[in-house]
Amino acid sequence: MNRQVLVRYGEIILKGMNRPVFENLLVKNIKKALKDECSIKIHCAQATIYIEPDDDSCVESIVEKLKKVFGIVSIVVAYPAPKDIDKLAETVVANFSSELSAAKTFKVIAKRSDKTFYMTSPEICTEVGGRLLESFPNLTVDVKNPEINVYVEIRENGYVHLDRIPGAGGMPSGSNGKAMLLLSGGIDSPVAGYMIGKRGVYLEAVHFFSYPYTSDRAKDKVLELARIIGGYCTGLKVHIVPFTDIQLQIRDKCPEEHLTLVMRRFMMAISQRIAESRGCQALVTGESIGQVASQTMGALAVTDDAVSMPVFRPLIGMDKEEIVEIARKIDTYETSILPYEDCCTVFTPRHPSTKPKPEKVLLSQSKLDIERLIDEAVEGTELVEI
């Protein structure tokens, strides 16, 4: 009999009468993640999603893809067996002999979801453990720190497996609304997108492109970051905004100390315009308080003043090392550090304002034809679907 993949979820269990809605959404996202795999059957029972592939060779690939599906807490690759203690023990011996032969200590962990089964969990552990001691003289029982945990589960069927594989956790994508991520080519914004996406928020992204001051390689870098984040968020649409004219106008007409702040205000206003047209409820940025001059409390207040939409900043209290650690974990770090500049590094002021006066920044911005520039940028936006 082919191996099966058992998926467990966490917070969904707490959703009460709404739980089936979240379960169905998670199953939908799993099917989407596995659409290019072999033929599979999926059903949900007892807070577990059962995935039965018709080809056993697909199992490892299925597991790798499931690791990136938000809402999954853990994954196990299990061998089904009849609900008979002899058959369960035989299945463990037949399928895990190489692992058990190489170990010195083990522990059997039993879970009896089907309370009609004729043995209790401790009795299952004793009986299966005894069979393993007979079959593998090298083994001794260690209930505190074993080399191998052997799991025996009695559900609608019997299942045996070894270790549990951690999932991405969080909530299913699409279960908590939709937001627009301001995606640069740096380290921070992809991590911010990952963290908000993990809470079940469906994401689209906006990227500001200043050709020829930023190259096509810089855009390709951002699209690669979007591809990685999209692997967790069941895909990602990226809106590429032409930003060169706006930056040149800001450079020519605004005081140098306000260049970055006025630029950020334009970015926020344009992002809100696109977000509203796409049904998004919030903006997401990768800012961390005090990390650079445009991320002081005063500067962030001036930036937020440009929009009426909520702005989520999941990295706001994190230091750079914490952000880098997550970037490495989700595989965006190596792409983020590629040496292709984005528009945020173009025309950087030598002495940016860290304690800006809102009225002075607004006065600087008033020298520009704000609505025309925003309209033209939105109209020239290119949509790329990852």
Return the pLDDT at 345. Answer: 64
Shared domain for 242 and 323, answered yes or no, is yes
Shared domain for 248 and 145, answered yes or no, is no
Shared domain for 147 and 198, answered yes or no, is no
* Residues of the chain predicted below pLDDT 70: 1, 342-347, 349, 351
Shared domain for 227 and 359, answered yes or no, is yes
Shared domain for 62 and 129, answered yes or no, is yes
- Both tokens of 271, joined, read 């992002």
Is 58 part of any domain? yes
Is 39 part of any domain? yes
Inter-residue contact 184 to 344 (CB < 8 Å): yes
Sequence-distant (6+) residues with CB within 8 A of 96 are: 148, 150, 160, 162
User: At which of 113, 133, 166 does a domain end?
Assistant: 166
pLDDT tens readout for residues 80-127: 999 999 999 999 999 999 999 999 999 999 999 999 999 999 999 999
Shared domain for 8 and 93, answered yes or no, is yes
Return the pLDDT at 346. Answer: 64
Is 97 part of any domain? yes
Q: Indicate the number of domains in the chain.
A: 2
- For residue 101, what are the domain limits? 4-166
Sequence-distant (6+) residues with CB within 8 A of 287 are: 188, 294, 295, 300, 313, 315, 316
Q: Which amino acid is at 386?
A: I
Question: Which residues are registered as beta bridge partners of 45?
Answer: 48
The pairing of strands 72-81 and 105-112 is: unpaired
Whole-number Å distance between alpha carbons of 12 and 30:
15
Shared domain for 20 and 60, answered yes or no, is yes
Inter-residue contact 370 to 246 (CB < 8 Å): no
CATH number where 12 lies = 3.30.2130.30
| Of 200, 205, 232, 230, the residue nearest 219 (C-alpha) | 205
Return the pLDDT at 103. Answer: 95
Shared domain for 145 and 187, answered yes or no, is no
Shared domain for 317 and 215, answered yes or no, is yes
Q: For the chain, how big is the Rg over CA atoms in Å?
A: 26
Is 173 part of any domain? no
Kindly report the average pLDDT of the chain as a whole number: 93
Shared domain for 96 and 231, answered yes or no, is no
| Of 269, 265, 244, 252, the residue nearest 346 (C-alpha) | 244
Inter-residue contact 8 to 74 (CB < 8 Å): yes
Return the pLDDT at 46. Answer: 83
Return the pLDDT at 348. Answer: 72
CATH number where 209 lies = 3.40.50.620
Whole-number Å distance between alpha carbons of 337 and 324:
11
- Both tokens of 26, joined, read 């998670």
CA distances from 60 to 30, 56, 165, 365 (A): 15, 9, 12, 55
Return the pLDDT at 293. Answer: 77
Is 172 part of any domain? no
Return the pLDDT at 127. Answer: 95
